[in-house]
Amino acid sequence: MSDLPHITQSEWNVMKVLWKKSPLTIMELVKNVQAEQKLVSTTVKTLLRRLIAKDAVGFTIDEKNSKLYYYFPLVTEEECVKKVNKQFLKQYHQDNVENLFATFVNSTDLSGEEIDHLRALLEQKKAESNE
C-alpha cells in the first residue's frame, strides 16, 4: 500500500470521475470534472498529467485516430481510501483506532439506529478476529 501515489485533493476530484466511468477521452473527462467542480480545462489537463506521472492514471491510444487518447485509473478507489484512512489515523490519532473511534463517537450526534449499526459492525469484526 505504501507504493500507492499521494493524490492531492484536486487530483482526487479527477480520480473520482475516472473511478465512476472509464476510459474517458480528455474532453469527456473535462466535462465530467467540470460538472462536479468549476475548473478550467487547462487545470483538469494539468491534474491529469500529474496523475499520469504518478502512475495513478494510464491511457491507451485509439487505433483509428492516433490523436485520441482514452484515460483510465491504475489504482482503485478502495486502495486509495485505505491509504488516506491509514495516514489520517497515524497523523491525528497516533495510530490508535480506539482513540479515533472514541473521538468520533463523542463528537458526533448518533441516532440509536446508527449506534446499533456500529455495534453490529464491531461484533462482526470481533467474530472475524476470533475465527
Average pLDDT rounded to a whole number, residues 108-121: 92
Residue-wise pLDDT for 60-72, tens only, equals 999 999 999 999 9
DSSP letters spanning 26-78: HHHHHHHHHHHS---HHHHHHHHHHHHHTTSEEEEE-SS-TT-EEEEESS-HH
| Structure confidence by residue, pLDDT tens digits, 24-44 | 999 999 999 999 999 999 999
Does residue 108 register a pLDDT over 60?
yes
Average pLDDT over residues 113-129: 92
Q: How far is residue 47's CA from residue 16's CA, in Å, rounded to a whole number?
A: 13
pLDDT score for 4: 86
